Amino acid sequence: MDSVRRHPFTDSIIRVPLSNKWKGFNRDLYDGTTDPDEHMNAYITYMSMYTSDDVVLCRVFPTSLKGETLIWFTKLPPKTVDNFPTLMSKLETQFATSLPHHLTFIALVGIRKEKRESLRTFVGRFGKVAMSIQNLSPNVAMHHILIALRLGPFADNLCMQQTVSLDELWKRVSVYM
79 backbone φψ class: left, alpha, beta (φ>0; ψ -120 to 50):
left
Burial 104-115 (b: 16+ CB within 10 A, else e): ebebbeebebee
Q: What is the pTM of this model?
A: 0.58
Locate all alpha helices (DSSP H) within the chain, ordered by sequence: 11-14, 36-47, 54-60, 67-74, 84-94, 119-131, 138-148, 153-160, 166-176
Say how far apart CA 15 and CA 141 lie, in whole Å: 54
Percent of the chain with pLDDT over 70: 95
- pLDDT, one tens digit per residue, over 110-141 is 888 888 888 889 888 988 888 888 888 888 88
